[in-house]
Amino acid sequence: MPELPEVELARGYLEAAVLCQPIEEVLVEDERILSRITPAEIEQHLAKKSFRSVQRHGKRLFLELDGRLWLTIHLGMTGRLIYLQKGEDEPAHTRLLLRFQNGFCLAFDDLRIFGEAGLTASPSSFLAEAKTGPDALQVDREGFAEIMRGRRGAIKSLLLNQRLVSGIGNLYADEALFQAGIHPQSRGLNELQLGRLHSTIQEVLRTSISVQADFSRLPDSYLLRHRHPGGLCPRDGTLLKHEKLGGRTSYYCPEHQRPFGHKHLSDYRPAH
């Protein structure tokens, strides 16, 4: 599933490709991709308009239209946005196609149709209505600690809760916890642990963006390079463990990621 780094890359891609191009035609090829809007309504509000800017919050994209409306897109598990030049074939699972006056197109391709597209009056009103938490790259250390302080759930589950902090998914939650030396089932983290986790979240997300979310280009000290059955911890060579937590598979090192503030945690320093 695309997480914050992948969606941030999509934002930059759209910003470079589709701004200030009048939309000639809107083709809803599968209305299951639409959220709280009909094909006729989205066609009416997008046709003859242009995108003026692109914003991202967490895993969601907002494209500003002429006329004070925003197209909102969530890529779901398998969604992709593809800018097609003249003559290029549509992707096999195109659900929404925007055809620009210059003959180029923007396709929303989504195999499993867990993504969605809709309209909103503003990003802020949409996020408030959805009760979405602050963006993981924008929340500061104090804000992050305030959100997490006193929560009863396992820290991995808290990180995946988009109403607390938005943008972190299963893979990057595992990576941030690995770099911070925190077991995914740890609860009641202290201020030092929360501060360390905030720093590693920021570092992990920014590092992934810098390498275009290509895991093969991440530092070898990153869990994502080794996150598979039989993988070894890049810090100490221990066999990685994996288990289900809240329905999601978590990978961690049993040696230096121990729950409930084991003594190893205070001595841990993220690998670089």
Q: Which helix (H) or strand (E) holds 94?
A: strand 94-100
Which of the following is catalytic: 80, 90, 248, 259? 248
Q: Is 91 a catalytic residue?
A: no
pLDDT at residue 31, as a whole number: 98
Taking only the tens of pLDDT, the chain with its 272 residues reads 899 999 999 999 999 999 999 999 999 999 999 999 999 999 999 999 999 999 999 999 999 999 789 999 999 999 999 999 998 999 999 999 999 999 999 999 999 999 999 999 999 999 999 999 999 999 999 999 999 998 989 999 999 999 999 999 999 999 999 999 999 999 999 999 999 999 999 999 999 999 999 999 999 999 999 999 999 999 999 999 999 998 899 999 999 998 864 444 333 344 33
Q: Is 59 a catalytic residue?
A: yes
pLDDT at residue 270, as a whole number: 41
Determine the Cα–Cα distance for residues 268 and 196; give it in Å rounded to an integer: 10
Which of the following is catalytic: 56, 59, 227, 235? 59
* 3-state secondary structure (DSSP) of residue 158: helix
Determine the Cα–Cα distance for residues 226 and 218; give it in Å rounded to an integer: 11
Amino acid at 42: I
Q: How far is CA 257 from the centre of its chain?
A: 24
Count of H helices and E strands in the chain?
Answer: 8, 10
Residue among 265, 69, 96, 242 at smallest CA distance from 156: 242
Alpha helices in the chain (DSSP H): 4-17, 39-46, 123-130, 141-148, 155-160, 170-180, 191-210, 263-267
Q: Is 24 a catalytic residue?
A: no
Which of the following is catalytic: 3, 6, 8, 175? 3
* Residue 243 CB coordination number (10 Å): 11
The DSSP bridge partners found for residue 118 are: 72
Q: Is 39 a catalytic residue?
A: no
In contact, 189 and 146? CB cutoff 8 Å? no
pLDDT at residue 1, as a whole number: 81
pLDDT at residue 201, as a whole number: 98
User: Is the sign of the CA dihedral 101, 104, 110, 116 positive or negative?
Assistant: negative
Residues in CB range of 101: below 8 A, 6 or more apart: 21, 22, 23, 24
